[in-house]
Amino acid sequence: MPTILLTDDQVSCSEIIWHTLRELGCEMLYVEEKSEVLTRLPQVQPDLIITDLGSPGVDGFTFIQRVRAHNESIPILVVSGIIDDDQNRARALRLGANHCLGKPFDCDELREVVRSVLLDCGGQTP
């Protein structure tokens, strides 16, 4: 069972992602503050990180950079309302995100993207 760490300040979106992936058989960890994720990352060692881009405190772009500075192998999936902008998508991918998904999203698409990212990165799939 893959462990997925979710960090998103939009509670309603986080709940949808949480429940969708729990139903898929994933172990879910939720951390609201991206700065806390960076502190806990060495102990948690998730199979996948799901993050948004627009958030208070540490923004998603900086978060991706900081994760990559400490760990190049953990896949990162960006789920964000501002990812439909080609420049934001390109920047997130350039900084180290493995895949980007826009909000709002279809739950079936989320499941497929998570499976695909985990498979592409050699992790266990649900």
CATH superfamily of 3-107: Response regulator (3.40.50.2300)
pLDDT tens digit at each of 126 positions of the chain: 899 999 988 888 999 999 999 999 999 999 888 888 888 888 888 999 999 987 777 889 999 999 999 888 999 999 998 877 789 999 999 999 999 999 899 999 999 999 999 998 877 777
- Rounded to the nearest 10°, the torsion over CA 120, 20, 4, 39 is 140
The pTM (predicted TM-score) of the whole model is 0.94
> Buried b vs exposed e over 93-103: b needs ≥16 C-beta within 10 Å?
bebbbbbbbbb
